[in-house]
Structure 1
Amino acid sequence: MRISARTDYAVRAMAELACTSGRPLKAEDIAGRQDIPLRFLFSVLSELRRARLVRSERGPDGGYALTRPPTEVTVADVIRAMDGPLMSVRDLKLTGLAYPGAASALPDVWRAVRTSLRQVLEGTTLADLAAGTLPPLVQERVRDYNDDGRTYPS
């Protein structure tokens, strides 16, 4: 799986919005806090608005806000809004995918990868990101990955 800059910026912007308790946040503030180019952020926010993950409010106290509580929006929701399905193999459905001969087990590898992605991305909410407390599954996988011994509080 490849995370594009656009998707990375979208998740980071959504994490910032999750910290605002529903109050609108100006794009300029999001861009500054997350070091995102403002023009690029406007494009990202527009897509998130079309996906009904954020709403925009006009006026001096306006800006952008989440349309649902951060506990109800997952990282997977944001990725799907920006890039479509979490994982695909040549745009084929994984159900019923079969290869001949030596590659016959490969579709099961693709299915396992997709399941792992879904477990992590659908199990991590914007509230988790905003609080800095990642779900146990993510913490476990980070420990497997990190060699600096860093852990996240539960």
Structure 2
Amino acid sequence: MEARIETLSEKKLIGKHIEMSFIENKTFELWSSFMPSRKNIKNTIDDNLYSLEVYTLDHFDNFDPSKTFQKWAAVEVQNLDTIPENLETLIVPDGLYAVFVHYGPASEAHKTYHPIFTEWLPNSKYTVDNRPHFAVMDHKYKKDDPDSEEEIWIPIKNRD
């Protein structure tokens, strides 16, 4: 498994979030409520979609799939001057990320995520940092198409 290490500059996002867990996955509900509002966001940087997870500091200690976290559907914007009604803002701070490419349908993303956390991360010089995790879906993303691609960004920091 190959990772590209990137230093991310702060990103300003506008979108929606929902509280969910891995057991009670509400991703479809979230995106279904966000996409109709997307056209009201005027100062987007590009056409990319961002799927983000904001976890608590201890989320991965004694991992529990029923533990809740924030799941976001968003787009990147130039500034936060105009926020359409019923949408929210999220700022992803600067930091180091390990970037992986998931090839294949979104429904099979676990086949990429699992080795990141069970193989790549434990064998790297990094540990997970407490910043949003996210996937970037650009023109290569085709949801459940076997030829779909999306980038997975995992926040990292050097091990102590």
TM-score, scaled to structure 2 = 0.23
Higher helix share: 1
Larger Rg: 1
Structure possessing the higher relative contact order (Cα contacts under 8 Å, 6 or more residues apart): 2
Higher strand share: 2
